[in-house]
Each structure stands twice: as C-alpha cells, then as structure tokens.
Structure 1
Amino acid sequence: MSINLFSNYPLSWKPVKATLTRPYYQGLARQMRADINNGLLLPGTKLPPQRELADYLDVGFTTITRAYKLSQAEGLTYGVVGKGTYVSPNVKTDLTITHQDNKNIQELGFVSSFESENGALQSTIINIAKQKKFAELLNYEHPTGIPRHKKIATRYLREIGMNVNQQNTLIASGGQNALTITLLGLFNPGDKIIVDQFTYVNFIELCRLRGVKLIPIPSDNDGIRSDLILKACQNDVIKGIYLMPDCNNPTTEIITLSRRKEIATIIKHYDLTFIEDDYANFLNLFREVPVIKLSELVPENSVYICSMSKPLASGLRVAFMRVPDRYKLQIELAMFNSTVKTSALDAAIVAEALENGTANKIMHRKINKLLVANQIFDRVLEQQVNAYNATSFFRPLHLKSKQRGDELEKLCLDNGIRIFHSDRFLVGPRPDNSFLRVSLSAVEEINDLTTALKRLKSIIL
C-alpha cells in the first residue's frame, strides 16, 4: 500500500481523487475545467509538477502527462519548456468576438467596416436584380464561383499584388468561411500551426474546434521572429503557419520584406502549409510602395485569403482565395461539404461593384476615414502615429496596469465602453506587455469616435 506524503503539501491544485471518473486523465481534465470555472484555479496559475501531482493522487505519471496534454489541447493551459504548465490567461473569457446591438454601449471592441458606406451599394444591387440572368444567381451551379465573377476576382487580386489565374481562384463565403474550409481540408486534429503570439481570435477558436494546436511565436521590430519559427520546426513536427503579414490583428504589426524572405525560406524547406489572411488587402492599392505579399514568395505552399468585408461591406460574405493545385481538390471538397456553395448573389454584388467603379469610390472614402480616425486616436490618447498604422482599422493602446484582461473589459463595459484586452488574442504565456485593441471603425459617425475615446481615456488613465 502506497503512502501519500503529499496530503499536506502546498500544491497549487489539489484535485479530489474520490470524485474522478475513469479514465483518470479525462476526469482530471474535466475537474480542471470545473475548478477554473468555479474560480478555484485562476488564470496564470502554475500547475503542480507532473510527478508531484501523480504522487499526490497515487496515479501513474503518464496519467498526469495525458491530462496536461488534453488540457492544452482544450485551451485550458499552456506549457513552457523547462518552467512548467500554467492556466491560460484567457481561459475564462468567451473569446469569440461578435457585433453587439446595445445602443447605450459605445463600441470600441468589434472591428466593423464603416457601415455607413453600405448604402453606396444600393444602385449596384438594384441593377443586378434587373438583369435577365438574375435567377441564375440563386441556383446550385458553380459552387466555387461563377466564371465571370472569378475573372473579375482574378483581376482584383492582380491589382493588389497577387500573381493568379482563374483556375486557381475560388470564391468563399467570407474570410471566416475561407479559414474554416482551409482547416477542414488541409489539417487534422493534433496538427500544429505556428501563429503570432497575439493572433486573430476567431482563428484561435476555429483551431480549438478542429483540435489543431497553435504554436505561438513572439515578434520583434521586423515582425514574427524567424529564428524562433526555425527552432520550432527543428524541434517539433509543424504542419502549417498562419499569419496576417500586412497588418496583424490585434497588434497592427507589418512584417518587413527581409523577414518575409526568411520566413519563406523556412516554409519551403519544411514544406509548411502557409495561410495568409489578408483582410485589409485594399490598402495595397493606395500605398506609395505596395507591399510584396508573403504568398508570392511561396505560391506552391500558400493558401491566400482576400476577404472583401473591410474593402466593401461586412454583410457581403465574400472572399477571394488563391489556392495552388496541390491543395485545390481538398479545399473544394471541404467547401462542398461545409458550405455547399458560395452565394452567387453576394459575389455578383462584389464583382459588379469592382467593375462599375463603386468599389473604388467606397475604398477611397474608407481610406480617408481611416486617416481621420487614426489622427483622432493619436490626439486623444496622446499616441504617435507611424507609417504602418496610419490607416489601420484598430490600434493597440498599451497598458501599464497588470490587471487581468477580463476584469478590465468588465470595468470598461460597466462604464459604457466595449473594448477587448490583449489577453483575448493571446496564445501561450502572457508577456510583460499588455494592451487594449481599440476599434476605430465601428462608430456610426466619425465624430462619435472622439467622445468614445475620451471616455475610454478617463476610465483607463
């Protein structure tokens, strides 16, 4: 009979063995989830070393190892090599970001797309409805996009810097749908994808649903660190990498050309599947020196996603995809079996707007609004604008406080401001720096932004 020497040992977590169900490793993961939800295990807590917890519970070491691995797969914890396992900072946060309709709350959280510009599409929609072949937009044909729409999409992709042809172009039901079908088609549960330390929150949630593990990599002044990407590939089996090279959400960082070339070399060497999420693609039309898309450096390894929500209207669920031949069949099968087909009506509106010049006018107005919005942000919150964030849809507001993200979000919400803390976008351990992601494009009128930012300043400072 074993003697438990850890009964009075000050472990940071003491699961109750009598309440565990078999298999024990699953029961431990369930009890961990319950203790986190009940406030017994707080975000950031370092869990007991695996051997000590195994001795305390009088179970095998591998049981604890499997329990900790399961907890990481579920997003409850993260591990730091040589330091241990910790409860995730955002574990108690409902990560998914959606629009809210409370008119008494000033929206600085959800990043929309200047919805006041949507009315400019009305005449385009009316013209489409009058066309003789309008009814054909409502059938099952051409599930990945009508050829004419693909032709226009291909032209637009070339304008923003992508070398594409009609055969490699697919039309998906928005950027989120494009990410979903890419994960379904190209990745399996247990696969590992490298991401920015702070990354797009809805992608984090998609990977949790798919059972894909994310490997976070921090950044320096040139963007995500290529030396640490290389080290991760050398030490582990990595399947893919997901990035927003032109404007990271939520940090607004842009990866420099030299860093893109370094990352491209690693992608080629390890034959990684690269997912480029280019949600702010239209900004390349207005840059004095357009950026070179990372996908252009690794075309045979890249799934390039060009969402049209920010350039035109968020309610038009349309995204253009550039997919190499090696991935095309898998992506199409995932699209057929999850979406059936992309709305040809939505695609027709986008295509027609690109053809008749309406899209260009909307994009011009949005650029001007972004310039004004970023100037307001810099003035009210005393920030310094630079070249890469002068036209961003959101900005990071760096914090000196170490207050937990969920607590700070609630404080702001109680004072009439909806805002999102960097913990919500965090993969892995919490760094020393934290910030708020401040949306600049969700207010109904640009003048309302000044009022909202002043209120935020009074709450935070």
Structure 2
Amino acid sequence: MSDGSTSHSLVSELRRLVAGLTPGDRLPSSRELIERYRVSPVTVSRAIATLAAEGAVVSRPGSGTYVAPRTDHAGPTVADTAWQTVALADRAVDVRHLSGSYGAAPEGTIRLDGGYPHRSLQPTQALGAALARAARRPDAWDRAPASGLSALRSIFARFVGGSITPDDVLVTGGGQSALSIAFRAIAAPGSPVLVESPTYPGALAAARAAGLRPVPVPHDGDGIRPDLLAEAFAMTGARLLYCQPTYHNPTGAMLTAERRRQVAETVRAAGAFLLEDDFGRFLSHDRHPAAPMILDDRDGSTVYVTSLTKPAAPSLRIGALVARGPVMERMRAIRKVDDFFVARPLQEAAVELVSSPAWDRHLRALATELRERRLLLTGALTGERPDWRIAGPPTGGLHIWVQLPAGADALALAAAARRQGVTVDAGSRFFATEPPAAFLRLSHAAAADRAELLEGAQRLTALT
C-alpha cells in the first residue's frame, strides 16, 4: 500500500485484522502499520481513531492499541442505568395528567379532547405572512432582550389595559412556560399552593415540578369559593393561589364580580400572591371578556399570565407575565437562567400578526365559530343525554364540562368512546386529589368542522 492510499482503505484492512484477533489482543504498533501498509503516520492515526469511535479498538496511551471487548450484535446494547434511580432520588416530574393515557389516536378519530382549536380555526395564512415579514427584518436573528421585544411588551401591556406599562411585562415561551417561571419564583420547594378544584392539569404539573404541594379549594358555578379559600390559607399557611377567573379550564365558569373582590381581599389578608391565569383572554364567544383582576391590584399581589398560543396556533409559543415589584425581578432572573430569551423571529412574527388587521378579523370569526360550536355540542348532548349535567354554559373558552350520573365511570366511558372513534378527556386528571364525581371535559374546537363535531357527539351519546 503506497503513501497515497486513503485512510478508508486502511480502515477496511484493519477491520479484517481485528476480526481475526481476540478481545484484548494488541494491534501492531503504529510504526509496524506504517511499514506493513506503506502509509503515512497521519493515515494510521485517522484509521485508529475511526476504529476507536466504532468501539472496535481501545487506545491506551504509552501502551498501544488493543481489540475491544465484543458486543452482542443480536440486538442493540442496553445500558445498565439502574444507578440513576439512586442519583435522581425522588425528584420526579409528573406529567401523567398532561394528556390522555391512551397514546396517539388512530387516523380518522374525531377529537372531542385536547386544548387547542383545530387547524381550520387557526389564522394560518396570517401567521405565514407575519413570519415571512418578520424574517425579512435586518435584525430578525439578533439576540432579543431577556424581557422581550419592546414592541411586543407594549402590545401585551395594551391588551391588559389600565396602568400596566411595558416595564411590567415579561415575554415567555407560551403560557406553560410562564406558569413554570411564576411557581418557581414565588414559592419555595415544599410549600403549599392553593388551586381551584378542578383546575388546569398543566398548572398542577408545573407546581409539582417546582416542588410545591397543590392544595385544592372547591369551585362551583360562580368560581372558587372565597369562604373555603380563607380557611385554606389559614390551615396551610400558603402564600400563593393559582386561579383562572375567566373561562375557567375545565368548567368554563366566570368568577363573579363579587367573588373577584372577595378573592383579592382574602389573598391580600393572607400576605399571599394571586397567580391569575387569563389563558382565555382571546377566546370569548361574545368578544367581551371580564377585565383582568390585576387591574384592581393595589400592592403588587397579583401576577398575571396570558398567551397568544391558543387563539393563534400551538407553535406560536408566545406568552407573557405581568407583575410589579421584586417578584418581577425574580421572574426576569429565572427567564435568563432558563434560556436567556424567547426566539426573536417568533417574537417578531407575533408583533406582525397582532398588529395587522387580519388579527382582529380572526378573533371576530373565532368568537362566532366557537359560540356556534358550543351551542351545537351542548344541544346534541342535552337532547340525547338529559342525565348528563352540563356546567354553565360557558361564554368563552374551548370546552364544556359534563358531570355524569352517579355510579358512572368516566375513564371507562373515555375508553369506550375511543373504541368508537371519538376521543374525550376524563375529568379525573383535572383534580389535585380524588374527584367528587365522574366528569368529562369535551372540546367543541378540536373537530375539523361542525358536521364532524355533531358526528362525534352522536357517537358519544350512543354509548351506554
């Protein structure tokens, strides 16, 4: 073999050599290989490095190169990771309640579950145009400020209203990221956090991942019960309440004006924070949602969360935290530690989208369609299953909340519905502890159109 031969050729020769040796055998020295195959030292070094990367040989500096132990090629090597159980201890992140327990639905399944509108309800053309315009900006790929683009923070401040300024806004990677930041910023690991019962499973998962202990407070048709809230603060010493006053997920309830005042006073008296999740700000069925509770906040006790994701598209991961005082400084610090900033092109696209006339047209059309779909689904259920009690009905959001008759098994019904080509959310995953009854959360926004929504309702109500 001449000096001009490639390392690829030498690798092939050495593979044949190794195949005829026994694990632990020493290969000829580099000098011997150079002389035997008449190649350069560089070619030998590259060939040995290639075989070492493949796991065929082991190089021991000062000793030589040896044939590596053989592996079982009957199948992939399975690493023994049992030691990790000890190292990780009990720091598990529980995501069991974030989605259904049955895996991906088969093709053709009618979706009456999930937390996002169907693609047909998303402003895909406006999104594409906004992203294209954003990408053409000269600074589109520059580093973004940790708090978010000034223009986007101004937009969120305007959405909230009142005396909120851009300096009170922190842009996040969607609402779920905002919740994770807020939980870690406000409460220390091991602390209790009060939550509505039922509540959003993503909040339960984020709180537990932050090391917090969710403590449920009963919820009725008018929202969280202030009398039991005060009792929960007194019993637990909690310093944080997570609450969805507008279009509560999963029930769709609106916290009444009187209860909003009572809740705010109770939180203030406890020296606690209210984490107000206004995920449904743009999901009103009549375009007139209640004003955020943070507008009445006098002393910085309210931390507000909102997002553009649900009214736009799942991958527009743009949300915001609004707060005043040291808590905002701490959340900004966590934002930097987590990932420095939200991707600038996505922020620029969000600015382009919500600043265009297409955004307001989309929200008007979405409100009309959500209202019509909700009426269609509730009408189909009440007509066929009068024994199913529907909460509300809601005037916003993407879901209806159904209480099943005494003795019903929501998990069994969800499994049976799946076998009939319909997916639904069993209510148990919306409770921090045992549910008081059997419930279903049904989406009227996930189906492709009204005809498919009606077909899904008919399949569901035909089940016994």
For this structure pair, what is the TM-score category when the shorter chain's length is used for normalisation? 0.7 to 0.9
For 2:123, give the aligned amino acid: N
Counterpart of 1:292 in structure 2 is: 291
Counterpart of 1:142 in structure 2 is: 145
Give the distance between the partners of 1:220 and 1:104, measured in 2 at CA.
36
Give the distance between the partners of 1:365 and 1:153, measured in 2 at CA.
21
Shift of 1:373: 0.5
For 2:349, give the aligned amino acid: I
For 1:154, give the aligned amino acid: A
For 2:135, give the aligned amino acid: A
Alignment partner of 2:303: what SS? strand
Q: Work out which of the residue numbers 131, 136, 149 in structure 2 matches 1:125.
A: 131
Contact 1:198/1:426 (CA < 8 Å) preserved in 2?
Answer: yes
Alignment partner of 2:342: what SS? coil
Tell me: CA distance 1:422–1:386, structure 2 relative to 1, closer, same or farther (3 Å): closer
Shift of 1:100: 4.1
Count the aligned residue pairs.
368
Counterpart of 1:192 in structure 2 is: 192
Counterpart of 1:409 in structure 2 is: 414
Shift of 1:409: 2.4
For 1:444, give the aligned amino acid: A
For 1:156, give the aligned amino acid: F
Contact 1:375/1:385 (CA < 8 Å) preserved in 2?
Answer: no
Contact 2:168/2:322 (CA < 8 Å) preserved in 1?
Answer: yes
Tell me: CA distance 1:296–1:101, structure 2 relative to 1, closer, same or farther (3 Å): same
Shift of 1:252: 1.1
Counterpart of 2:449 in structure 1 is: 445
Give the distance between the partners of 2:144 and 2:136, measured in 1 at CA.
20
Counterpart of 1:341 in structure 2 is: 341
Alignment partner of 1:137: what SS? coil
Is the deviation greater in 162-171 or in 260-269?
A: 162-171
Equivalent residues in 2 for 1:346-425, closer than 5 Å: 346-382=346-382, 389-425=394-430
For 2:450, give the aligned amino acid: I
Counterpart of 2:99 in structure 1 is: 97
Contact 2:105/2:423 (CA < 8 Å) preserved in 1?
Answer: no
Contact 1:192/1:214 (CA < 8 Å) preserved in 2?
Answer: yes
For 2:140, give the aligned amino acid: L
Shift of 1:152: 2.3
Counterpart of 1:108 in structure 2 is: 112
Alignment partner of 1:282: what SS? coil
Q: Which protein is bigger by CA-based radius of gyration? A: 2
Counterpart of 1:174 in structure 2 is: 174
Give the distance between the partners of 1:359 and 1:157, measured in 2 at CA.
17
Shift of 1:177: 0.5
Is the deviation greater in 223-232 or in 401-410?
A: 401-410
For 2:398, give the aligned amino acid: F
Residues 1:434 and 2:433 are matched in the alignment: no
Alignment partner of 1:455: what SS? helix
Shift of 1:379: 1.9
Shift of 1:225: 0.8
Shift of 1:113: 2.2
Equivalent residues in 2 for 1:227-238, closer than 5 Å: 227-238=227-238
Tell me: CA distance 1:379–1:220, structure 2 relative to 1, closer, same or farther (3 Å): closer
Contact 2:172/2:321 (CA < 8 Å) preserved in 1?
Answer: yes
Alignment partner of 1:382: what SS? helix
Contact 1:182/1:331 (CA < 8 Å) preserved in 2?
Answer: yes
Q: CA RMSD in A?
A: 2.7
Counterpart of 1:43 in structure 2 is: none
Q: Deviations over 1:383-414 (max 9, x none)?
A: 79898614431101220153444333222222
Shift of 1:74: 8.2
The answer for unaligned runs of 5 or more in structure 1 is 1-26, 31-69, 76-90
Identical counterparts, % of pairs = 19
Tell me: CA distance 1:284–1:397, structure 2 relative to 1, closer, same or farther (3 Å): closer
Is the deviation greater in 295-304 or in 330-339?
A: 295-304
Counterpart of 1:321 in structure 2 is: 321
Equivalent residues in 2 for 1:148-159, closer than 5 Å: 148-158=151-161
Tell me: CA distance 1:402–1:336, structure 2 relative to 1, closer, same or farther (3 Å): farther
For 1:325, give the aligned amino acid: G
Shift of 1:235: 2.1
Counterpart of 1:60 in structure 2 is: none
Alignment partner of 2:291: what SS? coil
Shift of 1:285: 9.7
Give the distance between the partners of 1:334 and 1:325, measured in 2 at CA.
15
Alignment partner of 2:188: what SS? coil
Give the distance between the partners of 2:396 and 2:222, measured in 1 at CA.
19
Contact 1:171/1:321 (CA < 8 Å) preserved in 2?
Answer: yes
For 1:247, give the aligned amino acid: Y
Alignment partner of 2:132: what SS? helix
Alignment partner of 1:144: what SS? coil
Tell me: CA distance 1:430–1:385, structure 2 relative to 1, closer, same or farther (3 Å): closer
Tell me: CA distance 1:182–1:386, structure 2 relative to 1, closer, same or farther (3 Å): closer
Contact 1:246/1:255 (CA < 8 Å) preserved in 2?
Answer: yes
Contact 2:222/2:256 (CA < 8 Å) preserved in 1?
Answer: yes
Residues 1:223 and 2:223 are matched in the alignment: yes
Shift of 1:292: 3.0
Alignment partner of 2:253: what SS? coil
Contact 1:274/1:301 (CA < 8 Å) preserved in 2?
Answer: yes
Contact 1:108/1:442 (CA < 8 Å) preserved in 2?
Answer: yes
Give the distance between the partners of 2:353 and 2:104, measured in 1 at CA.
28
